[in-house]
Amino acid sequence: MRSHLQLTHEPLVIAAPVFPAETDSGAWVDFFGVVRGQEQERAIAALHYEAYEAMARRELERIVNALGVKYPVQEVWLTHRLGCVPAGEPSLHVRVRSAHRAEALAFTGELIDEMKRSVPIWKMA
């Protein structure tokens, strides 16, 4: 499994996936985590994300490698934006490709669950 993990302070620019003609990937999943304009009936202009970056990268790598053993996923891209993210903009993009859909969807969900649980990235209103 190839992986591309990135923390960035810039807005996420995500192009639609391009599928190679010779592909062995029948399933592509894109997940976007977007800052909502309200949270518990309170209007939100932006969220602020901070990270302990070196540790966050290491922990993301650990999670991705562990899930890559569990699920036969071919390639994963994960980009998390840090700093101020205005409402309506994505703070997280995950893209996964695999032969079949079940592992791509399960990998995506577990990756984000694990990330929220153990990666030192904090969100503040």
Q: Is 102 in the site for a second copy (CB under 8 A)?
A: yes
Cβ pair 32, 16 in contact under 8 A = no
SS3 39: strand
Distance CA 70, CA 37 (A): 36
* Tokens 């980009």 sit on residue: 79
Q: Which is nearer to a second copy, 13 or 69 (CB)?
A: 13
Stretch that binds a second copy, among 2-10, 28-36, 58-66, 69-77 (CB under 8 A): 28-36
Query: Which of 7, 29, 64, 78 touches a second copy by CB under 8 A?
Result: 29
Q: Is 108 in the site for a second copy (CB under 8 A)?
A: yes
Q: Is 35 in the site for a second copy (CB under 8 A)?
A: yes
Q: Name the nearest CA neighbour of 85 among 33, 18, 30.
A: 33
* Tokens 């577990």 sit on residue: 110
Contact residues for a second copy, defined by CB under 8 A: 14-17, 19-38, 86-90, 99, 101-102, 105, 108-109, 112
